[in-house]
Amino acid sequence: MKVLLKGENVKLGSIKDEDFACINSWYDDSDFLRYYDMVPAIPKGQKEVQEVFEEFKETQERMIFAIRDVSSNEIIGVIGFDDILWSNRVATLFIGIGNMKYRNKGLGKEAIRLLIDFGFAELNLHRIQLDVLAYNTSAIKLYESVGFKREGEYREFILRDYKRYSMYLYGLLKDEWIEKIKV
């Protein structure tokens, strides 16, 4: 059986009950939270984390996938679409690689490419967008490398350690993606 959301090194699938112990450890990691979320980096208990993820099952406007290492099947992060506006065919992409040993190895890039392709080819989205904090320079470089274009800035959007940072809005249109994958 061919897995739709499978790449060379990662595959995207459902989050299983046994994954929550691992996911919960990410929510105890303030460094992970400062890059993954816009809210203050407050650790959450396993029940709180599960409730957040359960909300994804209750709506058509959000979807979340576990990012798994193909060889070990270990969960290494999460990726998905939030704020899906079906009438406009627009969705907001999010990603977090929670397992430190899998960061900076190109796996996030592979997962993003899989999800973008799924969004355009299977969900018939017209636009995929995302928000990123200005200090997350490695994510900015990654997003630009897969074709996202910086479209706007929310100046001094967030306060971290007594300093204000902007948040950037990035977008990618279906036609741009199709041109990029032809190359």
Question: How does pLDDT run across 22-32, given as a tens digit for each residue?
Answer: 988 888 877 77
pTM of the model: 0.90
Q: Where are the alpha helices (DSSP H) in the chain?
A: 20-26, 30-36, 46-54, 107-121, 137-145, 174-182
Longest dimension (CA), the chain: 52
The answer to whether the beta carbons of residues 38 and 131 sit under 8 Å apart is yes
**What tokens does 46 get?**
């396993």
* Residue 2: pLDDT over 60: no
* Mean pLDDT score of the chain: 90
What is the CA 129 to chain-centroid distance, rounded? 11
How confident is the model over 131-142, as pLDDT tens digits? Answer: 999 999 999 999
Amino acid identity, position 104: N
Domains of the chain: residue spans and CATH: 10-182 (3.40.630.30)
pLDDT-above-70 percentage for the chain: 95
Quick one: pLDDT at residue 85? Answer: 97
Quick one: pLDDT at residue 26? Answer: 87
Quick one: pLDDT at residue 48? Answer: 80
The answer to whether the beta carbons of residues 171 and 148 sit under 8 Å apart is yes
How confident is the model over 168-181, as pLDDT tens digits? Answer: 999 999 999 999 88
Amino acid identity, position 95: I
* Residue 47: pLDDT over 70: yes
